[in-house]
Amino acid sequence: MKSNLDLINESDSFPYYEDNPGKYIKFRSSYWEFHLRGGSGPHGYMPQYVFERFAEMPWVNAWDIDFSKKTLTPGPGRQEDIIREELEQAKKKGVFEVLNRGWRNELYPIYGHNDPSEKIISMERAGSALFGINSYGVHMTVFVNTPEGMKIWVPRRAKNKQTYGGYLDNTVAGGLSTGEQPFECMIRECAEEASLPEALVRSNAKPCGTVSYIHIRDERAGGETGLVQPECQHVYDMEIGADVIPKPCDDEVESFYLWTVEEVQEALAKGQFKPNCALVLLDFFVRHGILTGDNEPDYVEIVSRLHRKLPFPTS
C-alpha cells in the first residue's frame, strides 16, 4: 500500500536542490538545457540520449549548440518554425516513440520569452516531453453530497489508451493548448469526456487553484523514459446533484464509478490512479478538510509538494 507521500514522490520525481545540492547538481547536469534566442534562462531540460538522437538526424536548420554549457537554442529564423521542422523530421524518420505514437497536431505554449515578435512560442504537444518544457492542463473533480456522505465520480481510462491504459482518472481532464483559456478548455473537455452539459458546467464548476510538479517519465507513460515533464494543472471542483450521471462520450473513458471518499482512498493506496490524478485528489482532500495536519504526518510536505514552482517561466 502506498502512503500519500509515496503518491507525491511518484509524480513529483525530479529532485529538489535544497534536499541535497550535490546530488541535485549532478542529476541536473545530465540534461541539456533548451533555450530560446534572446531569453534569459532555460525553457526545458532534454536528456543526453534524446539530444544525441536528434544530433544523429542531424539537427535541421541552424541550431546553436554549446557543448560546454550543454545548451541548445534555435538559430536565426522564426524559432517556432525551426522547432516544428525538427520535430517533423524526427517523426518522419521514426526516431522517437513519443512522436510516432503520440503526434496530435495540437500546439502547447512556451511562455516568458522576451522577444516581442514571438511572444508565445508554440510546440507540437507530442514533442513537449522531449524538450522538457512546462505544460499546462485542467483537471476537475466532480462530486455529489449524498445522505451517506460525499461521493466522487471516478472514470476508468480505456484499456487501449496510449498512456496509462486501464488506470483510474480525475472526472474530467485535458491539456491546455496555446491560446486556450483554462475555464473554456474545461467546459469543452466536460462535454467530450463525460457528456456534461455546458450550462451545468458553466454555472457549477469552481476554479480552486493549481497542482504542479516535475515528473520524470517512466515506462508506464509509454515511449521514451527519463523525459522531464514540469506540469501545472488548473484544478476545478464541481458539485452536482444525484440526478446528473457522467457518461463516456469519446473512446478515452471506459466507464464512470461513483465512489465514497474511502473507496477513492483505497484505490489511491493501491496505485490504481494515473499518478498525476492522484495528486489532484490529494489536493481536493486537503482543500475539503479530509486530509489534515492532525491526521496526516506528512501534511506539511505534501501540501507544498502539490504546488511545486515550475522551473521555467510561466507567464
Report the interface residues with a copy of itself, using CB under 8 A: 16-20, 41, 136, 181-183, 206-210, 212, 232, 234, 286-289, 292-294, 297-301, 303-311, 314-315
CB-count exposure of residue 265 (10 Å: 0-12, 13-18, 19+)? middle
Q: Which is nearer to a copy of itself, 98 or 173 (CB)?
A: 173
Q: Which is nearer to a copy of itself, 86 or 189 (CB)?
A: 189
Residue type, 189: E
C-alpha closest to that of 44 among 139, 111, 94, 138: 111
Q: Which is nearer to a copy of itself, 82 or 142 (CB)?
A: 142
C-alpha closest to that of 160 among 227, 101, 233, 218: 101
Q: Give the nearest distance from C-beta 279 to a copy of itself in angstroms.
A: 13
Three-state secondary structure call for residue 173: strand
Q: What is the CA 59 to chain-centroid distance, rounded?
A: 27
CB 107 within 8 A of CB 127: no
Task: Show contacts of 292-297: CB within 8 Å, 24+ apart.
Answer: 296/4
Grid coordinates belonging to 103: 503526434
Q: Give the nearest distance from C-beta 136 to a copy of itself in angstroms.
A: 8
Grid coordinates belonging to 71: 545548451
Q: Which is nearer to a copy of itself, 24 or 257 (CB)?
A: 24
User: DSSP assignment of 89-102, as one string?
Assistant: HHHHHT--HHHHHH
Q: Give the nearest distance from C-beta 288 to a copy of itself in angstroms.
A: 8
Q: Give the nearest distance from C-beta 294 to a copy of itself in angstroms.
A: 5
Q: Which is nearer to a copy of itself, 182 or 222 (CB)?
A: 182
CA dist 208 and 47 (Å) reads 34
Q: Which is nearer to a copy of itself, 129 or 232 (CB)?
A: 232
Q: Give the nearest distance from C-beta 29 to a copy of itself in angstroms.
A: 11
Q: Give the nearest distance from C-beta 299 to a copy of itself in angstroms.
A: 7
Residue type, 191: A
Q: Which is nearer to a copy of itself, 222 or 313 (CB)?
A: 313
Under DSSP, the state recorded for 118 is G
Q: Give the nearest distance from C-beta 284 to a copy of itself in angstroms.
A: 11
